[in-house]
Structure 1
Amino acid sequence: MSEDGTSEFARALAAEVDEARDDPTIDIPSTEALFTRIVIDELEEIGHFEAAFDLPQEGKVGRSPFRISGYAIDEDAGQLTLFATHYSGDVPPRRVPASDLLKTAERAGTYVAACIGGLADRIEPSNTEAGDLARRVAALGERIDRFRIVVLTDCIAGGTLPAAVDSHGKTVEIELYDIVRLHRVLGEGQTRADIDVDLVAFAGHRIACLPVASGAGHYEAFLAAFPGEALSRIYDRYGTHLLELNVRAFLGLSGRKSVNAELRRTLVEQPEMFLAFNNGVVATADEVRLEHEGGAVYLTGLRGLQIVNGGQTTASLHRARRKESVALGAVEVPVKIIRVTEGDLEQMVSSISRAANRQNTVQQADFSANDPFHREVETLANNAWLENGRGRWFYERARGSWLAAEQKASYRTTEQRAFREQTPKARRFGKLDLARYLSAWDGFPWRVAFGGQKNFQAFMQRRKEQTAPPPDAAWFRRLIALTILYRTTERLVRTMKFPAYGANIVAYLIAALGERTGGRIDFDLVWRQQRLSMEMETLISIWAPLIDQALRASVGSRNPTEWFKKEDCWVEVRNHLPTLTDPLPAELDGTSPNAAGSVAERHGPTLQAADYDRIEECMRVPSAVWVATAEAGQRSGVLHYKLASICITLANYAAGGWSRRPSIKQAKHGLESVAKVRAAGLFDETQREVG
């Protein structure tokens, strides 16, 4: 890898940090923290980490200082990863002594030692996310058996770091991502090529295989049986990076009928039958290294290995060995390896994945990058120009597509300038962003608390289960308005300097706005203005400490980070939401004119806080009450058939979980209908439920 390529990558990364620092919607305390957030987000997106969060924290354990910049905790795998950043801001990148990077790791190591050594309560300051995380790790105890410190730096490492250190009887692994490695995995260096598997080293011997040539000559195939231990160790080394072209998640072991539970049962009770019972693994490779001996063919290595089907099998083997100490010595796994010789590898992989996964219960949402939904959003972004006709938003369906588009435009100076003016980085958003914004607004802030990838998977699954219609231009404008709302809220919350849980405050605040307004913010106004009004920003600033207060009050003796991931948390917070007061911001009062007409032509009377209170009250009435109200009211003549019809409509909304919210008029007429039926003394059961 050329030094010039690394310098160019470093320059682009520094420019991204500078641009984020100058972005008025972002308020992170330092350029180092911005660097950390950008790098962690991008490493998570390519599968190097899961549920990773930036968390710039420093303090003391007794007299010893600690410093961390982020974390990722995986309870299923029993693993805690801490990020420690060494940032210089120098371009071109300078070489830094390995001893300096080791000091960075040691400051994070002090924190790890506190977690392991029972000193979590001695972390100062204790009322921070770092303190809560330490207490959570201490509570998990032996369930966390793997500790790792990942050093991030924008410098070139001037040497190597020790692979591990010992602390309180535990091995703490150390891993380094310097600018050279970041270039290799995030830059133009193809990340798949980083996976170069020496099968002899992992298995202890060559693996016999049967080569099969395709009749059309578009690919080569090799059939083999891999030792379960070797496959587990390969996953241990490369993790979800092996699933780059597949992006399927390990679905866990919950439920008796879970495929993973069945895998585990076979591993424990009949390991020698695994080859017979399991469908095995389908993989692709850019290069297949072979040896021939006495008419037999052996696999010795694979470069660019990707598991296309069988991610659950591989992850289950890894979990059984690492987490549950299940011996895999007798386990053999059927493996089919395909090397594409002609055509598009990714298209071939997509076809293989879809065909292979029709055999089981894998959801279409698993194939996220190429899902029609994301392609449609990309198309809408390309065609949705702002009101002034001189700009667009850029949907980064695949990681790096914005940079690729910019580079394509860079061949001509005028085109490059036009691209940057039309689609600046500040108007770029990706799949994880989209899922975060929509999940929070739709009432799933607890899902957002799980982090980017897990929330995204849940979001895609919900879309499939709800059979949502394909997005259109109006849907896209609403999405961008939500993006502006969410990002503005992030900026305002950061400026308020909450000691902890800023990201959770944002997600729950957005959900609170969606709940209180019945989802009826004037998105068209936000789209046209491309910003929120000062009155709306003021409302958010007033609500933020109230949401923080409600979250903290709901925690009790629980661990806050874990509690915020529970649906029960949202249920409790939802009962203590801030109230709307008059006068309402323009986004809520219904007075904004459309592009062509007057206020009266668009909305009619000005809305007030009481209108939104009625919507909220309406959404607390169960579906059965609406049905009973309609039937009793119409049968007795108390309700006109039109009012009874409104009650039935509201019953359907309630049965659907209020995924469709009532209008101001529906809420008003619906509540009046319930009051009439109750006043008439009809249906005691209805009266009891309404009352």
Structure 2
Amino acid sequence: MSDLEDYHQSLMADIRREADASGILMVEAFFDRMTERLTEAGELEVADRAYYQSGELGQKLRIDGYAGDPRDSEGVLGLIVCDFVDSDEVQTFGKTDIAPLLNPLIRFLKKAKTAEFRDSLNEVNPAFQVSDLIITTWSQVTKVKLILISNRSYTGRDDAVKLADAGDVPITWSVWDLARFERFDRSGQAREDMVIDFATDFGGPLPALKASQSGAALESYLAVVPGEQLAAIYDRWGARLLEANVRSFLQARAKTNKGIQKTVKEEPELFFPYNNGLSATADAVTTVTTRDGLAIGSISNLQIVNGAQTTGSIHTGLRTAREQLSKVFVQMKLTVVPSDRSEEIVPKISEFANTQNKVNAADFFSNHPFHIRMEQFSRTVMFAAREGERHDSKWFYERSRGQYINARGRLTAAQQKKFDIEFPKVQLFSKTDLAKFEFSATGQPHIVSRGAQKNFAEFAKEIGENWSKSDAKYDELWYRRLIAKAIVFRKLEEEVPKQPWYEGGYRANIVTYAMAKVFHDARSETEVLDVDAVWRRQSVPEALLEALMVAASAANDCITHPPQGVRNMSEWAKQQACWNALKSRKLDYPENFESCVVAIDSAKAAVRDARAQKALNDGINAQTEVVGLGGKFWQQVMEWGQARRRITPKDAQVLQVCGRIPSRLPTESESIHAMKLLTKLKEEGFSPAAVFSVDLK
């Protein structure tokens, strides 16, 4: 069986399981699952489901979803249509199939621009919501992007091809097929290489200075990019340029962006001295020699890791100050980073280069210590089997896309069965899932409703700030309680569509709002929700589920009945005012809801006990490791550190004790100190063999 066939079988099994468990259509489960990939890949910032279909053949209208308010994405209106086939075999489609699949979406767009079509629909109809949004924002739409998502394999070769213009607004389309999703899920890559050919497509080679010596670990260049050239590149490739950035372009809402755009309009010749420029990476760079010297001919997979706001603001100049762009120039530091080192190098470049809007180091990246710690917990922390099940299991935290599928794929058939028992597919969760679970529980459902990437951006900022102060709270108990929140969130996802009051749509909003409401209402000066009971039993107690359904009904009512003058319910759910409205409602929970709360003192005692146990375990483990390395090893550490003046008097005192093993054993605290010192010295170049070649002159 090929990788694609294996992926297709797994995908279809997941979709059928989700549809059966939640009572939703398979195409809806497919939409929810795959649009998560679209936002993660930077294809869209957010994806809201809005299904509508009418007519037949040449009169057919169809839409499955849209990419939020175009005013939040530089005027790009994203519309989504699904091509879903319920089949056990991989199906294919070609270029001739594109028109029949996309034309109904184009027809819908044309109809949706008319008030007559909008007013013929009920206000709760998703098509009404999209039509009203299009009519309201059409004057600010700069581009229409049509996205076709399919569980068939596309045999055509076109990726994003311009179809036609709707007045002054260009329309482009792109296909996300089974093979593209498979590539993304396996490695985080879903596109062919992005090659920016300056000579052919963007006015000529880019003059540059080489900023690295021959044979250097990383190849680097300095360049000055004309504003017109940078705006044209961003206009073509968009968010793909920013996939490695610590935050996406925030438009003109940030003070920095307003200043950048003002400079473009009013003082373009001063842009270069005022702006910090770009820090960028690439997989490969080709150079040419011109009359004026070295120049960059092409760049493969350019990533702007610092300078998203600069790039976006200059691109905005295409609409607001096009004539001024010829006077704008931007400095760029470009580093060629091999793909196998990108996760190590790119976050550091971003961390050290970022100055315009200060963010915590590497908040968005998968190798931030927070994510690494969660991954470590997920591989070691075992949870008891649910009632009626035989096996204990773990939750698999995928801090980088592809970890799960690749870990499983390396195993034999027999090992895969064992892996599936240890890490059930339903217990797989990602960084964006983690952010949804946590922000729903901490009362920020309006931010969760803004989409996975925007929610994760806010979550990462909060984690970064907290982590820099102290990482102690993010211990094993915190992880276990996170899993409890995951269980609650996913149970809500299953149960909401089954409720008699649920009319379809807004499930994601209802879930996060209901969860936030119950956690909020359970919290008082003396009590909090007993999440420990959830992770211990790996299921939601009946009393808690009843309360969640009460809150879900209220959330549905609040979201689908916005205030006078507000017509788009998805956009309403993204507002703080929507959360305030639900938060202030008094709900009649079942009497047994009291059994779901626990005294704050008890919850805090559990934290204290967990930390005390961790300290005890850390001490025992460190002592075991120190003794196991032996006295001669620690004598080597002492010699190496003293020769290079890398140890303090306190370090020397501890190492003297360790060097006398086994005649004397270090205490647990001395052992912890020794292991921390060893880690530090290894980072500075120590290895056990190195001590024998030390030059003591």
Instruction: Bin the TM-score by the shorter chain.
Output: 0.7 to 0.9
Is the contact made by 1:439 and 1:448 (CA closer than 8 Å) also made in structure 2?
yes
Change (3 A) 1:343 1:169: closer
Cα offsets for 1:241-294 (capped at 9, x unmatched) = 223333422233225xx2212211111112222222222112122211111245
Q: Distance in 2 between matches of 1:377 and 1:423?
A: 15
- Structure 2 unmatched runs, 5+: 386-390, 604-697
- Does 1:19 pair with 2:14? yes
1:687 corresponds in structure 2 to none
1:66 corresponds in structure 2 to 61
Per the TM alignment, residue 338 of structure 1 is displaced from its structure 2 partner at its CA by 1.3
1:417 corresponds in structure 2 to 417
* SS of alignment partner, residue 253 of structure 2: coil
Q: Distance in 1 between matches of 2:296 and 2:490?
A: 50
1:498 to 503, 506, 522: 503
- Does 1:128 pair with 2:130? no
**390-399 vs 540-549, which moves further:** 540-549
**154-163 vs 133-142, which moves further:** 154-163
Is the contact made by 1:163 and 1:175 (CA closer than 8 Å) also made in structure 2?
no
Is the contact made by 1:550 and 1:576 (CA closer than 8 Å) also made in structure 2?
no
* SS of alignment partner, residue 336 of structure 1: strand
- Does 1:431 pair with 2:431? yes
Per the TM alignment, residue 148 of structure 1 is displaced from its structure 2 partner at its CA by 1.8
Q: Distance in 1 between matches of 2:339 and 2:82?
A: 43
1:576 to 578, 585, 590: 585
Cα offsets for 1:580-614 (capped at 9, x unmatched) = 23133753488xx99xxxxxxxxxxxxxxxxxxxx
Q: How does 1:197-346 map to 2 (within 5 A)?
A: 197-214=196-213, 217-254=216-253, 258-293=255-290, 296-322=293-319, 327-340=324-337, 344-346=341-343
Change (3 A) 1:193 1:144: closer
Amino acid across the alignment from 1:583:
N
1:507 to 500, 508, 512: 512
Is the contact made by 2:288 and 2:296 (CA closer than 8 Å) also made in structure 1?
yes
Q: Distance in 2 between matches of 1:52 and 1:450?
A: 9
Change (3 A) 1:126 1:363: same
Q: Distance in 1 between matches of 2:595 and 2:18?
A: 25
Amino acid across the alignment from 2:252:
L
1:563 to 569, 572, 581: 572
Is the contact made by 1:128 and 1:499 (CA closer than 8 Å) also made in structure 2?
no
Change (3 A) 1:308 1:223: same
Cα offsets for 1:319-375 (capped at 9, x unmatched) = 332566564222221112112479833322222221112575233364342222222
Per the TM alignment, residue 465 of structure 1 is displaced from its structure 2 partner at its CA by 4.5
* SS of alignment partner, residue 593 of structure 2: coil
* SS of alignment partner, residue 163 of structure 1: strand
Q: How does 1:337-376 map to 2 (within 5 A)?
A: 337-340=334-337, 344-358=341-355, 361-364=358-361, 366-376=363-373
1:657 corresponds in structure 2 to none
What percent of counterpart residues are identical? 27
**554-563 vs 120-129, which moves further:** 120-129
Q: Distance in 1 between matches of 2:346 and 2:504?
A: 46
- Does 1:474 pair with 2:477? yes
**8-17 vs 265-274, which moves further:** 8-17
**437-446 vs 516-525, which moves further:** 516-525
Amino acid across the alignment from 1:102:
A
Q: Distance in 2 between matches of 1:233 and 1:336?
A: 19
Is the contact made by 1:282 and 1:308 (CA closer than 8 Å) also made in structure 2?
yes
* SS of alignment partner, residue 48 of structure 1: coil
Q: Distance in 1 between matches of 2:531 and 2:71?
A: 39
Change (3 A) 1:436 1:289: same
2:71 corresponds in structure 1 to 75
1:616 corresponds in structure 2 to none
Per the TM alignment, residue 158 of structure 1 is displaced from its structure 2 partner at its CA by 5.1
* SS of alignment partner, residue 456 of structure 1: helix
Q: Distance in 2 between matches of 1:541 and 1:563?
A: 21
**466-475 vs 503-512, which moves further:** 466-475
1:530 corresponds in structure 2 to 538
Cα offsets for 1:140-162 (capped at 9, x unmatched) = 23122321211122223355696
Q: Distance in 1 between matches of 2:427 and 2:366?
A: 20
Is the contact made by 2:112 and 2:118 (CA closer than 8 Å) also made in structure 1?
no
1:380 corresponds in structure 2 to 377
Q: Distance in 1 between matches of 2:320 and 2:406?
A: 40
1:94 to 91, 95, 98: 91
1:672 corresponds in structure 2 to none
Is the contact made by 2:246 and 2:362 (CA closer than 8 Å) also made in structure 1?
no
2:549 to 541, 551, 559: 541
Amino acid across the alignment from 2:581:
E
Per the TM alignment, residue 309 of structure 1 is displaced from its structure 2 partner at its CA by 1.8
1:390 corresponds in structure 2 to 392
Per the TM alignment, residue 517 of structure 1 is displaced from its structure 2 partner at its CA by 0.7
Q: Distance in 1 between matches of 2:536 and 2:20?
A: 18
1:40 corresponds in structure 2 to 35
1:454 corresponds in structure 2 to 454
Cα offsets for 1:228-248 (capped at 9, x unmatched) = 122222222222222333342
Per the TM alignment, residue 120 of structure 1 is displaced from its structure 2 partner at its CA by 4.5
Q: How many aligned residue pairs are there?
A: 583
Amino acid across the alignment from 1:41:
E
* SS of alignment partner, residue 426 of structure 2: helix
Per the TM alignment, residue 545 of structure 1 is displaced from its structure 2 partner at its CA by 2.2
* SS of alignment partner, residue 85 of structure 1: strand
